[in-house]
Amino acid sequence: MNLLETELGVELPTQFNQYDILTQKSIINYIKQLNSIEIQAYKIGKQHLGSSFNVLKSNGYNNWKKKQK
């Protein structure tokens, strides 16, 4: 885990460094607002799906993104 992941308490998506800076910031903001149950669900999803996990396609992220507009 890097410093940012340690601060957030979760591993970032595998493709995180491939995203542009705005998308990276959006993912970080999304993760920061998750409650403890949502963080647990995020970790389980990432663990079960492995490298195919894509936070940008998750229902939670998409619902959060819609509320940001």
7-55 pLDDT, tens digit each: 999 999 889 999 999 999 999 999 999 999 999 999 999 999 988 999 9
Q: Which residues contact 54 (CB under 8 A, 6 or more apart)?
A: 13, 15
pTM: 0.90
- Please name the residue ranges forming H helices in 1-69: 3-8, 21-32, 36-49, 59-67
For residue 1, name the pLDDT band (cuts at 50, 70, 90). Answer: confident
Give residue 69's pLDDT band: very low, low, confident or very high (50, 70, 90). confident
Structural domain total, the chain: 1
What does the pLDDT read at residue 37?
A: 95
Q: What is the extent of the structural domain holding 41?
A: 3-67
